[in-house]
């Protein structure tokens, strides 16, 4: 007999940590947005292996450091761009990202919440019920 219920203490733990550190939606969105900016840039900006690795690394670190507020991803994308291409201006297509950030932010949030749900379910499967009961008693 199996249910899909996750104990409240596990949910509270996962959501608390997940809200801060587990932002997989942002970690996916940042590289896609930056590759879009590079491809639509009118200057001689190139996307080599070094730039791609830096984009991925800064996107993962930036996703953990991004505040969970509306449109904060726009600031992080700008920061990553100026870190990788310090002598280049941000392309005009950046304004498109700013214009649709309200919608993309909702998609990123859904991705983050679904990821937190998966993590909560995995932890609930790995932890014995007695351990959860002992934790709730303390």
Torsion of CA 103, 105, 4, 15, to 10 degrees: -160
Mean predicted confidence (pLDDT) in 109-134: 80
Structural domain boundaries of the chain? 8-137
Query: What whole-number percentage of the chain has pLDDT above 70?
Result: 89
**In this structure, what token pair is assigned to residue 98?**
């700013």
Centroid of chain to Cα 59 = 8
Q: Quote the CA–CA distance of 28 and 112 in Å, as a whole number.
A: 10
Decide if 103 contacts 74 (C-beta within 8 A). Answer: no
Q: Quote the CA–CA distance of 131 and 135 in Å, as a whole number.
A: 6
The model's pTM is 0.81
What tens digit of pLDDT does each residue of 15-59 get?
Answer: 888 877 778 888 999 999 999 999 998 887 888 899 999 999 999
């Amino acid at each position: 007999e199996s249910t899909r219920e996750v104990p409240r203490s596990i949910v509270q733990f996962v959501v608390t940590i997940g809200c801060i550190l587990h932002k997989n939606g942002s970690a996916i969105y940042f590289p896609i947005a930056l590759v879009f900016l590079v491809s639509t840039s009118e200057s001689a900006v190139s996307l080599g292996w070094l730039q791609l690795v830096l984009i991925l690394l800064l996107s993962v670190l930036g996703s953990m450091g991004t505040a969970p507020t509306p449109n904060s991803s726009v600031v992080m994308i700008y920061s990553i761009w100026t870190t990788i291409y310090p002598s280049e201006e941000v392309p005009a297509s950046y304004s498109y990202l700013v214009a649709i950030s309200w919608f993309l932010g909702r998609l990123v949030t859904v991705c983050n919440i679904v990821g937190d749900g998966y993590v909560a379910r995995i932890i609930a499967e790995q932890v014995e019920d007695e351990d959860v009961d002992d934790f709730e008693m303390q």
